[in-house]
């Protein structure tokens, strides 16, 4: 089964249902997302109602079990939906990716009772999630996190969580948070995962960060001040949290890669349309070899990135190791998005540097993708470890 990207390139879709999902996504993107993107990003407005629409349309839980309200789709299909959403507006594509990441720990490591109690509302009930790993002093070195969860004696085994999480997408607006907190020894083995309600007493958000781009996507610190969490909301075993976090990030990096390809595709489409219309020296600038070569390189980077993230997705869908390929996809696709959006600005010249055209926004947004869910320097560390083993100590 095949379908086409906006520039006419054929893509593989495994089923008729997948084809229908892509068509539905494109329709929502065209009618509901893209027309509002520039204005709402400029004003910093988060489009919560769009996430409600995506939830009702079955697009917010695509890779998860239908028994709990998910879509039961392979990652190969889910990521192509993300690409379409990100091409319309990165705030939406990234938001869906982060929400899916926030559901991962419960879906994979929760008990049957936990999944039945919480997953349906998370996947299809209009809720929005946040993933809480990073801290002000623990970013790339996430195993050094300091947020603590301590058992409270005499009240049924509740945990009390204290600390601060940083760089949290949907911070302050999320309905639930997947939180990694220290419950034991220093390092990776002392971390446990918890599912915390967004309205829990003692949980508060700092004002959103003032960012270069992605102004419509709130990013904020979350403060945990004596937040009580029942042991029934602990995900996995005590001390398993860091392994759970890394497992989630392998999949999450593929979401970022797909979003990067979508953003790059949007920039290329804008550059091609402009090059065909803009005339200099009596003819369209698309006639000039310098522009044609620039567009050809942009398209090649996008196609290479798409092929790489889809290959990683197929490995995941087949139950094969995919961590190295996921790191490669995140690295390559986000670097490609940075280069493609830079080149798109160049094709538009002075107009590309103005807010009258979307490519300047795409350029600012692309930079963020090289940083989130593991900087691209960390991706290189991950890839090298797969190749030659861990560093000598």
Predicted confidence (pLDDT) at residue 8 exceeds the cutoff of 60: no
Residue 246 has pLDDT above 50, yes or no: yes
Predicted confidence band of residue 1 (pLDDT cuts 50, 70, 90) = very low
What is the reported pLDDT for 390?
87
Q: CATH assignment of 243-388, given 3.90.1150.10, 1.20.140.10, 3.40.50.2300, 1.10.3720.10?
A: 1.20.140.10
Q: How far is it, in rounded angstroms, from Cα 102 to Cα 143?
A: 18
Determine the pLDDT at residue 336.
98
**pLDDT band, very low/low/confident/very high, at 15 (cuts 50, 70, 90):** confident
Has residue 79 got a pLDDT over 90? yes
Mean pLDDT over the full length of the chain? 95
The number of residues in the chain equals: 393
Q: How far apart are CA 97 and CA 103, in angstroms?
A: 10
pLDDT > 90 fraction of the chain, expressed in percent and rounded: 91
Q: How do beta strands 176-182 and 191-197 pair?
A: antiparallel
Is the model's pLDDT at 2 over the cut of 50?
Answer: no
pLDDT tens, 308-367?
999 999 999 999 999 999 999 999 999 999 999 999 999 999 999 999 999 999 999 999
- Band of pLDDT at residue 16, cut at 50, 70 and 90: confident
- pLDDT-based confidence at residue 298 (cuts at 50, 70, 90): very high
Superfamily covering domain 129-239: Butyryl-CoA Dehydrogenase, subunit A, domain 2 (2.40.110.10)
* CATH homologous superfamily, domain 2-124: Acyl-CoA dehydrogenase/oxidase, N-terminal domain (1.10.540.10)
Annotated catalytic sites, by residue? 373
The 10s digit of each residue's pLDDT in 86-118 is: 999 999 999 999 999 999 999 999 999 999 999
What pLDDT does residue 392 have?
78
Q: What residues contact 119, with CB distance under 8 A and at least 6 apart? A: 64, 65, 68, 69, 70, 103, 106, 107, 110
* Residue indicated by tokens 């600005």: 345
Structure confidence at residue 232 as a pLDDT band (50, 70, 90): very high
Q: Whole-prediction pTM value? A: 0.94
Query: Cα–Cα distance between 348 and 386 in angstroms, integer?
Result: 41
Structural contact between residues 48 and 40, judged by C-beta atoms closer than 8 angstroms: no
Confidence of residue 261 (pLDDT cuts 50, 70, 90): very high
Cβ proximity of 347 and 288 under 8 Å: no
Minimum mean pLDDT among 3-7, 202-206, 299-303: which range? 3-7
Nearest to 332 by CA among 301, 362, 363: 301
Contact 85, 99 (CB under 8 A): no
Query: Is 10 a residue whose pLDDT tops 70?
Result: no
Q: Would you list the domain boundaries of the chain?
A: 2-124, 129-239, 243-388
């Amino acid at each position: 089964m095949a379908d086409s990207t906006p520039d006419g390139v054929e893509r593989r879709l495994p089923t008729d249902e997948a084809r229908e999902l892509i068509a539905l996504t494109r329709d929502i993107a065209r009618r509901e997302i893209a027309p509002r993107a520039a204005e709402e990003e400029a004003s910093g407005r988060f489009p919560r109602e769009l996430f409600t629409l995506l939830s009702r349309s079955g697009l917010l839980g695509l890779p998860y079990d239908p028994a709990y309200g998910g879509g039961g789709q392979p990652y190969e299909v889910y990521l192509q939906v993300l690409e379409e959403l990100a091409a319309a507006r990165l705030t939406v594509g990234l938001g869906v990716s982060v929400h899916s990441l926030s559901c991962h720990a419960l879906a994979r490591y929760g008990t049957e009772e936990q999944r039945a109690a919480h997953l349906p509302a998370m996947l299809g009930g209009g809720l929005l999630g946040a993933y809480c790993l990073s801290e002000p002093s623990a970013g790339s070195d996430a195993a050094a996190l300091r947020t603590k969860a301590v058992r409270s004696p005499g009240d049924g085994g509740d945990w009390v969580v204290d600390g601060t999480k940083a760089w949290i997408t949907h911070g302050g607006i999320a309905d639930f948070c997947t939180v990694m907190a220290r419950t034991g020894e220093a390092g990776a083995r002392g971390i446990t995962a918890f599912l915390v309600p967004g309205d829990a007493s003692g949980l508060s958000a700092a004002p959103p960060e003032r960012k270069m781009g992605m102004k419509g996507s709130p990013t904020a610190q979350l403060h945990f001040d004596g937040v009580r969490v029942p042991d029934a909301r602990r995900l996995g075993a005590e001390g398993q949290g860091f392994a759970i976090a890394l497992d989630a990030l392998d999949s999450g990096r593929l979401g970022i890669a797909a979003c990067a390809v979508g953003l790059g595709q949007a920039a290329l489409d804008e550059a091609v349309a402009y090059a065909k219309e803009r005339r200099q020296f009596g003819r369209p600038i698309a006639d000039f070899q310098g522009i044609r070569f620039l567009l050809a390189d942009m398209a090649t980077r996008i196609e290479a990135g798409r092929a790489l993230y889809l290959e990683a997705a197929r490995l995941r869908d087949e139950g094969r190791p995919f961590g190295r390929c996921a790191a490669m996809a995140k690295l390559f696709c986000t670097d490609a998005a940075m280069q493609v959006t830079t080149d798109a600005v160049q094709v538009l010249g002075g107009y590309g540097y103005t807010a009258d055209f979307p490519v300047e926004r795409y350029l600012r947004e692309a930079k963020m993708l090289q940083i989130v869910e593991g900087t691209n320097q960390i991706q290189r560390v991950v890839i090298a470890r797969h190749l030659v083993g861990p560093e000598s100590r």
